[in-house]
Structure 1
């Protein structure tokens, strides 16, 4: 019996000892737990990174709107369209206006004017007319017979300028500069044609002072008409000197050319040769062209000064 009690006690002690040991180790096991891992601070606590403004993309630029078209500068209004553009004035004083004036030149018969395709006027009845090419007058020419001619008016003023352009037959062969005195006393005429009939177109100019009679346009007559203007008179006196030099240059050039040709033909040589006198005449032939341009310039300036009253 005692033995059974002792066994039970030893068994109880054996069971109680491990339990006591475990009871003592519990706090130790609690103290030896690994530390909790550090937790990440809340997102709100992390300061936001400062944006890098230097690396921001450039803002998109909108396309510039199309420029408004430049407005045209304001211009003065045009005058109303004329219902009658051209006119025909008769010697009787009657004036007719129309849209169209044509000069008719039939093969058989006399030339006449036709207005608007209906009304016909004989040139003997007409004092002046205007068509799309200019203004024309019917008058007698100075130093001619009483037969009238048609002159085109080129300039209007106290000194008004008129002209006639005609084409004349100049013979056969190659064209060249023709003879005859033309504008301002210089050589005029321009023949054309090659290997066949040649024609020369000549423009003859006239003037009238204060709508008076028609006069030949040359330095002498123009100087008489503008004698009351000192500036115009000085220009025309200088133009007369240019004409004198032009005449002397033509005479000298012609004399040297003839002498050079004669000397070239009389030379006793094996081959043909040209005399130096022929070459010497060439510069003298160029001088009239230069002086002729200066003469025309002086005449134009004199007319312009006189018309402006200077």
Structure 2
């Protein structure tokens, strides 16, 4: 399948309800593939700076998560050398040990699903790591097994920081061993701004983004298959947690997501009501838009 009709893997909206966000998805996909073509002025500036990662930021509940999920679906359907990986940080996974297990299992399951062109394998993330490794493609089995064994040794060591580092290095290891390009779409990144519960995770993520971790530095030192990262979330907390590192900022393309206009929200409501076979009046639509403040979360919950 092509970009015009990607299979729906992670996205939660049908195509006729995913409105006026294709520009953002296109921009992220251009970054993923390095594809030439018509670029926006922002993309031209980012490319001139050598940006390889991105921030997708905006107010709460304007559709940032769905943009990332739709990007995953498009890249998964496209195939090729760019391997999409979507991970949503949750408040209950800010503990480094819990995060490491969840992040690693999700990454391996999604990588294997992409490699074998079988989206159903994404569900294996809920299984033990040893079980996930057994369904890896033949050409990936040795390095996948090596990552799982390294994680098991880190568990025995009982060091949460080492566990987090082991998990976060997995995309770089995958890049160096498979020569594919892991493209990590990290949602709710702003949750790592918590001063009490996310210090270790925030530190390890910054090591990865700045290329200070050993594997990442080795891969990014000229290899075109180095992992790329898109961090999604609330603008202010993400910007506040970024270190004053000019080189890191130059590597980031800032993609701002603004609330949808009234006309677009109306089209979305009409499409949803048609799908549900529910009649809705113009006055009801107008009231929904006004009272819910164009909040997509609440509108979709009705």
| TM-score, normalization by structure 2 | 0.29
Instruction: Answer 1 or 2: which has greater strand percent.
Output: 1
Instruction: Answer 1 or 2: which has greater helix percent.
Output: 2
Structure number with greater CO (CA < 8 Å, separation at least 6) is: 2
| TM-score, normalization by structure 1 | 0.28
Say which one has the larger Rg.
Answer: 1
